[in-house]
Amino acid sequence: MKNKKIISTTNAPAAIGPYSQGVIANNFIFISGQISIDMATGKITGGSIKEQTERVLKNIKAILEAADSSLNNVVKCTVYLKDINTFSEMNEKYKEFFKENPPARATVEVANLPKDAGVEIDAIAILK
């Protein structure tokens, strides 16, 4: 695809498998699912879902900035929770990052996540 560009930044955790942090295609940015990895240690940060959600969204923000975009341009997120009972805690932190005109979103409970994370979020955004 001639309109495909891979996004990679050292300001977010490197991919832990055969995928890209983000891909630009046809004026959209597709951000791979992010978990709360500490870039220095490669381990999950934050004991609470609130803390993990903050790290995840900061990772997404860094990838968007590497693509010359921002959280304001996110149109869709999917949130994967290991425990749906942590939904309220995740939502409290999530809304701090999307104060106005939040993106469309789906939230699902999953059996497990990479590195035993409590939350994973992927995103789709538009270019500026």
Q: Considering the entire predicted model, what is its pTM? A: 0.95
**Torsion angle of C-alpha atoms 81, 83, 87, 93, degrees rounded to 10:** -60
> Beta strands 22-25 and 28-34: pairing type?
antiparallel
- 121 phi and psi angles, rounded to 5 deg: -135, 135
pLDDT tens, position by position, 25-36: 999 999 999 999
Distance from C-alpha of 52 to C-alpha of 39, rounded to nearest angstrom:
13
pLDDT per position as a tens digit, 40-72: 788 898 889 999 999 999 999 999 999 999 999
Residue 1 pLDDT > 60: no
Q: What is the identity of the amino acid at 104?
A: A
Residue 118's CB: how many other CB atoms inside 10 A?
Answer: 24
What type of residue is 127? L
| SS3 of the chain: helix, strand, coil, percent, to 5 | 30, 30, 40
Token readout for 22 is: 């983000």
Where do the DSSP E strands lie in 1-128? 4-7, 22-25, 28-34, 74-81, 104-109, 119-126
Q: 4-126: which CATH topology?
A: 60s Ribosomal Protein L30; Chain: A; (3.30.1330)
Residue 91 has pLDDT above 90, yes or no: yes
Contact in structure between 82 and 117 (CB atoms under 8 Å)? yes
